[in-house]
Structure 1
Amino acid sequence: MSIATPVDLRPYVNGGARASAAHWHPIVAEALASLPEGPLRCWGLPFAVAPAGVEGADPPRWLLVGAGRGIERTTAATIELRSAETVGHLVFLHFCDETYDPAAGPQPQHRPAGSMIRPGQHVADYVLTFGDGGEASRSIRWRFEISETGWSWGQQAFAARPNRQDRPLDFRGTHPGQEWGRVQKSAVGGGGRYWVYALPEPSAGGR
């Protein structure tokens, strides 16, 4: 029995790579077409990312919240979840825009990706609404619960993981001159474009 079940978001997706490009920082817009698609396993959990479609097509692939130009504006999204079992966590595969302010004047748009200038800034709120009317809200912050589609060395998120898992390295044997120091860690950190964030369900007692 699987420990996780993907939630079908097809009724809610609203953005394709080309249609939503005007909304994003240019660095992100260029990367949209190369984002992983199809069935994925991230840190052992199953996800199903909508495919890009045939060449020339631009089907909706993501649920974009806070979108502006290029697609219909969505400032909030409500997803109904049904489960006959107790849920311990809701796990999100998500990413956000580059941390730049389009109205900042001299700040260049084409600065290196992942140069986070506002870590900890509020991005969104994920709110769980229960059948009895109660709510639980979690603040989603840059470089904590979510981050950008690319990052510089030492700039990974604190409370989320990149979609590719860490992998072991064999520190024994012969290595290229510049690789010897790196392999002494016996592991290389994961990478990727999406971030995996596990939101604890606060009422695991069966609400």
Structure 2
Amino acid sequence: MPSLREVEIYLKGLWLLFRQQPAGLAFLDLSDRGALRSFWSALWSLPAILVSFAWWRLLYLQELAPSQSVGGLFFFRLALVEATNWIVPLVLVGLVCWVIGLGDKFSSIVVVVNWLALPISYAYGTLILMLMLVPSAAGFVTLLWFVLTILLITTLFRVLRMVVGDQVLTLSALILVLLVPSMILSEWLQAYLGILPG
């Protein structure tokens, strides 16, 4: 598991890439081994993920009778959805890279996407925590959620641009594959597994 110091270095690299500075690539392990190690970002994101699980549990319990509750199976299913949303988009990106001849860039894309998921997870986790603690701020949080989504798309575009080059159509395809299928799959899986509120 990467140490905190390593994670800080990776995040600094992402920040430099966001600022369109190629030097940021040197702060990231873009090898195949680095791609595998980048999945540790899921564990580093665990506190934020648990906040989202707690919020989802509250939403789900609102649909149940007061005498009913949820157990470990509910959280296992949430974890299954989370893992699927993490893996499937990367698999689809791999297929896109193979089709358009960017196979040599796949490991680099996995690295930047996985480590970028870390600050994004905490950003969304913070908004969820605001909703849980101050429900009356739902309108404001919704606005912040929209702004964060725009920021995510912008960040993906700028960072991936430094990895695959200035190819707008390719970048657009990669971002669509990273974001859209996970949104569709997430709702479908939640409904299929019986953990979709209301």
TM-score calculated relative to the size of structure 1 = 0.27
Greater Cα radius of gyration, structure 1 or 2: 1
Question: Higher helix share goes to which structure?
Answer: 2
| Larger relative contact order (Cα-Cα within 8 Å, sequence gap ≥ 6) | 2
TM-score calculated relative to the size of structure 2 = 0.28
Question: Higher strand share goes to which structure?
Answer: 1
